[in-house]
Structure 1
Amino acid sequence: MANHVDAIVIGAGFSGIYMTYKLREEGFTVKTLEKAAGVGGVWFLARYPGARCDSDSIYYNYIFSEELYKKWSWSSRFAAQDEILSYLNFVADELDVKKEMQFNKEVKSAIWDEDQTKWLVTTAQGEVFTATYLISGVGCLSTSSIPNFQGRESFKGESYHTGNWPHTPVDLKGKRVGVIGTGSSGVQSIPVIAEEAKEVYVFQRTPQYSVPTRNRQFTEEEIAQFKEAFLDAREIMLNSPSGLPIPRSTRSVVDTPEEERIVILEDAWEKGGMILNNAFYDIVIDPKSNELVSEFLRGKIREKVKKSDVVEHLLPYYYYSTKRPILDTNYHDTYNQDHVTLVNLRQQPIECITENGIQTTEKEYPLDIIVFATGYDAMTGTLLKLDIRGHNGVSLQEKWEKGAKVETYLGLGLAGFPNFFTITGPQSPSVLTNVPTAIEQHVEWISDCLNYLREHNVKTIEPTVEAEIQWSKQCTEIANGTLFTKTESWYTGSNIDGKSRDFLIYLNGLDNYRQLCNEVAEHGYKGYQLQYEEIKA
Structure 2
Amino acid sequence: MTDDSHDAIIIGAGFAGMYMLHTLRERGFRAHVYEKGDDVGGTWYWNRYPGARCDVESLYYCYSFSEELQQEWRWTERYPSQPEILRYARHVADRFDLRRDISFGTTARSAAYDEDADEWVLTTEDGARTRARFLITAVGCLSATQLPDLPGRDSFAGEAYHTGRWPHEPVDFGGKRVGVIGTGSSAIQAIPVIAEQAASVTVFQRTAQFSIPAHNHPLSDEEQRRVKADYGRLRAEARMSHSGILSEQREEDPLELPAEQVRAELERRWAIGGTTFTATYEATLRDPDANALSAEFVRDKIRATVDDPETAELLCPYDHPIGTKRICVDTDYYATYNREHVELVSLREQPISEITPRGVRVGDREHEFDVLVFATGYDALTGPLTRIDIRGVDGLRLRDKWRDGPRSYLGVANAGFPNMFTITGPGSPSVLSNMIVSIEQHVEWIAEHLEHLRETGTRRCEADPAAEREWAEHVNEVADETLFPQAASWYMGANVPGKPRVFMPYIGGVGVYRELCDEVARQGYRGFHLTAAG
Q: TM-score range by the shorter chain?
A: over 0.9
> What does the per-residue CA deviation read over 1:22-72, in whole Å, with 9 as the maximum and x for residues that have no partner?
000000000000001100001000000010000111000111121110110
CA distance in 1, matches of 2:382, 2:359: 32
Q: Note if contact 1:283-1:290 (Cα within 8 Å) is conserved in structure 2.
A: yes
Correspondence 1:65-76 to 2 at 5 A: 65-76=66-77
CA distance in 2, matches of 1:221, 1:238: 25
Instruction: Report the more deviating stretch, 234-243 or 113-122.
Output: 234-243
> What does the per-residue CA deviation read over 1:297-322, in whole Å, with 9 as the maximum and x for residues that have no partner?
00000000001231111111121000
CA distance in 1, matches of 2:488, 2:469: 24
Correspondence 1:431-446 to 2 at 5 A: 431-446=431-446
Q: Secondary structure at the match of 1:50?
A: coil
Structure 1 residue 253 displacement after superposition: 2.5
Which residue of 2 is the match for residue 286 of structure 1?
287
Which residue of 2 is the match for residue 238 of structure 1?
239
Query: Aligned AA for 2:392?
Result: G
Q: Note if contact 2:37-2:45 (Cα within 8 Å) is conserved in structure 1.
A: yes
Structure 1 residue 224 displacement after superposition: 1.7
Correspondence 1:394-473 to 2 at 5 A: 394-401=396-403, 404-473=404-473
Return the match for 1:345 from 342, 347, 353. Answer: 347
> What does the per-residue CA deviation read over 1:400-443, in whole Å, with 9 as the maximum and x for residues that have no partner?
12xx1321000000000000000000010001110100000000
Q: Note if contact 2:492-2:502 (Cα within 8 Å) is conserved in structure 1.
A: yes
CA distance in 1, matches of 2:58, 2:64: 12
Correspondence 1:192-207 to 2 at 5 A: 192-207=193-208
Return the match for 1:361 from 360, 363, 368. Answer: 363
Query: Aligned AA for 2:331?
Result: T
Q: Note if contact 2:3-2:129 (Cα within 8 Å) is conserved in structure 1.
A: no
Which residue of 2 is the match for residue 273 of structure 1?
274
Q: Secondary structure at the match of 1:254?
A: helix
Percent of aligned pairs sharing the same letter: 47
> What does the per-residue CA deviation read over 1:281-308, in whole Å, with 9 as the maximum and x for residues that have no partner?
1111100011111000000000000012
Which residue of 1 is the match for residue 518 of structure 2?
518
Give unmatched runs, 5+ long, in structure 2.
none
CA distance in 2, matches of 1:475, 1:248: 23
CA distance in 2, matches of 1:271, 1:501: 34
Which residue of 1 is the match for residue 492 of structure 2?
492
Give unmatched runs, 5+ long, in structure 1.
none
CA distance in 2, matches of 1:275, 1:123: 41
> What does the per-residue CA deviation read over 1:320-353, in whole Å, with 9 as the maximum and x for residues that have no partner?
0000010010000000010000001113310000
The alignment's TM-score, normalised by the length of structure 2, stands at 0.98
Query: Aligned AA for 1:508?
Result: G
CA distance in 2, matches of 1:337, 1:247: 36
Q: Secondary structure at the match of 1:196?
A: coil
Q: Secondary structure at the match of 1:471?
A: helix
Q: Secondary structure at the match of 1:145?
A: coil
Query: Aligned AA for 1:452?
Result: H
Query: Aligned AA for 2:396?
Result: V
Please tell me whether residue 177 in structure 1 is matched to residue 178 in structure 2: yes
Query: Kindly tell me: are residues 77 and 239 of structure 1, through their superposed partners in 2, closer, same or farther at Cα, counting changes over 3 Å?
Result: same
Structure 1 residue 249 displacement after superposition: 4.0
CA distance in 2, matches of 1:517, 1:214: 36
Instruction: Report the more deviating stretch, 284-293 or 250-259.
Output: 250-259
Instruction: Report the more deviating stretch, 261-270 or 235-244.
Output: 235-244
Q: Secondary structure at the match of 1:227?
A: helix
CA distance in 2, matches of 1:253, 1:469: 37
Q: Note if contact 2:110-2:389 (Cα within 8 Å) is conserved in structure 1.
A: yes
CA distance in 1, matches of 2:253, 2:431: 24
How big is the alpha-carbon RMSD for the aligned residues of Structure 1 and Structure 2?
1.0
CA distance in 2, matches of 1:189, 1:314: 16
Correspondence 1:31-180 to 2 at 5 A: 31-180=32-181
CA distance in 2, matches of 1:63, 1:267: 30
CA distance in 2, matches of 1:354, 1:381: 28
Q: Note if contact 1:427-1:475 (Cα within 8 Å) is conserved in structure 2.
A: yes
Q: Secondary structure at the match of 2:256?
A: coil
Structure 1 residue 248 displacement after superposition: 5.0
Q: Note if contact 1:348-1:362 (Cα within 8 Å) is conserved in structure 2.
A: no
Which residue of 2 is the match for residue 7 of structure 1?
8
